Structures are given as C-alpha cells and as structure tokens.
C-alpha cells in the first residue's frame, strides 16, 4: 500500500486508530518500508494514471498496446484504461493470460447451495475487472481471454498471437522522473516483483529422469 495523502488521511480518520492519531495513546512500534528513503518526489497513482491516459489517447484507434502488469496494484490502471478507451455502449477489454484471469475471478464468490444467489465481490475492484450482474443484466469486466483485444497484459515470455504478430506499443511503468529527466523504473522493490507471473514449482524432468520413472 502506497502512503499517498488519501491513505494517510484514512488512517487518521479510522475509528480503530483515532486514539493514536489524535495523541491519546502512543504506538509501541512502527514498521517502515525503507525501500526509498532518498529525498525524491513521487507522484500519486492518480497523477501517474492521468499522464498515461493523456499519452495513450494520442495514438490511432487501431493501436495495439501491451501493459506489463507483473505484480498486484495495477488494477486501477486497467480499469482506467478500459474506461478511457471504451465507449458508452461497449467495454474496452484487456487481454490477460489464463493465470491472471483465474486469479481475479477468484475474487468473486457465490453460494453453491443457492441457485439464484447473488455474487459477493471480495474487493472493490473485482466488478470492474471480471464483471457483475445488475438486476438480470450481466455487465462484462475489463479483463478478457480474447486475444483480438487491442490492449494486452498477457504473460511475459508467452505472449499471445496478437502481440507476437503486431506492431506493439509497450507500456512500462515507472516510479518517478528525476530532476534531470531520467526515469526510475518500477523494479518490484520490497518483494512481489513477479506475483502475477507463473513459476514452475517443480524441476523439469530430463529424458533420463523419465526413463527412470518408467522403469521403477
């Protein structure tokens, strides 16, 4: 969680923490993430999204984009891009790989024992990502498995056919710009650098290993 102004204000107003934020009690320990301790100005997420939307809007309507979302926290970016590039009658969808889609679909829960049970979204971003029902009408989310989409966040190293065969504009997140104009790339400092990338948990079997298993 980024300690942006809205987040700090939310802590100050939290009924669970107001006795500490008002000085009635003192916290024993505060744990700080010191990944970035230099005196550098970091724009808020909303400022970053605004700049991204301004730049994306300059491209022709048939441009194919790829946004590298390799960790959690970019859900707001997906939703903002979908809304900005879509229309009043059609949702602009973003192609993701099966792993990402399954991860975000797991944020929707339905009681299997009730035939007409309503769905429960486990986070506020879930409806915008994977869809929701409003009355008897289904509204699609911004994520899709359709490879013909113009915006992609499919898995690095296993891109879909559209990304492989198209002239793609690559969107790579940055943290901030230094006074000299250099950009500081988002490298996953603090962990979680590849949360949304699949990783083999077992070593690959060599032909000799397979032969040994068959003979066992």
Pick the most confident of 3-12, 87-96, 145-154, 198-207: 145-154
Three-state secondary structure call for residue 165: helix
pLDDT, tens only, 135-164: 778 888 899 999 999 999 988 778 899 999
Asked if the model's pLDDT at residue 114 lies above 90, the reply is no
pLDDT, tens only, 36-92: 777 778 888 888 899 999 999 999 988 999 998 777 888 999 999 998 887 666 678
Q: How far apart, in whole angstroms, are the C-alpha atoms of residue 82 and residue 142? A: 6
Q: Which of the two residues, 84 and 212, has the higher pLDDT score?
A: 84
Asked if the model's pLDDT at residue 115 lies above 90, the reply is no
Q: Where are the domains of the chain?
A: 46-176
Helix (H) or strand (E) holding 144: strand 143-144
How do beta strands 137-139 and 132-134 pair? antiparallel
Tell me the average pLDDT of the chain. 81
Q: 183 has which bridge partners? A: 177
pTM of the model: 0.72
pLDDT at position 147, please? 92
pLDDT confidence bin for 96, thresholds 50/70/90: very high
pLDDT confidence bin for 193, thresholds 50/70/90: very low
Q: Where would I find the H helices in 14-170?
A: 18-21, 45-56, 75-85, 98-105, 126-130, 161-165
Q: Which of the 8 DSSP states describes residue 185?
A: E
pLDDT, tens only, 22-36: 889 998 988 877 777
Q: For domain 46-176, give the fold.
A: Rossmann fold (3.40.50)
């Amino acid at each position: 969680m980024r300690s942006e102004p809205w987040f700090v204000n939310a802590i100050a107003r939290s009924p669970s923490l107001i006795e500490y934020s008002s000085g009635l009690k003192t916290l024993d320990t505060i744990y700080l993430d010191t990944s970035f301790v230099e005196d550098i100005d970091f724009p808020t997420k909303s400022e970053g999204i605004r700049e991204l939307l301004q730049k994306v809007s300059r491209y022709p309507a048939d441009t194919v984009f790829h946004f590298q979302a390799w960790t959690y926290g970019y859900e707001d970016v997906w939703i903002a891009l979908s809304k900005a590039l879509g229309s009043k009658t059609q949702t602009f969808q973003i192609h993701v790989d099966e792993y990402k889609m399954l991860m975000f679909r797991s944020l929707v829960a339905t009681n299997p024992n009730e035939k007409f049970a309503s769905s429960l979204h486990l986070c506020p971003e879930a409806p915008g990502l994977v869809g929701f029902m409003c009355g008897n009408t289904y509204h699609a989310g911004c994520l899709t498995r359709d490879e013909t989409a113009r915006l992609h966040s499919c898995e690095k190293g296993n891109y879909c056919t559209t990304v492989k065969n198209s002239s793609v504009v690559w969107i790579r997140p940055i943290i901030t710009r230094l006074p000299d104009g250099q950009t500081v790339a988002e490298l996953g400092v603090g962990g979680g650098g590849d949360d949304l990338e699949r990783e083999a948990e077992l070593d690959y079997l060599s032909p000799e290993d397979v032969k040994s298993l068959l003979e066992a």
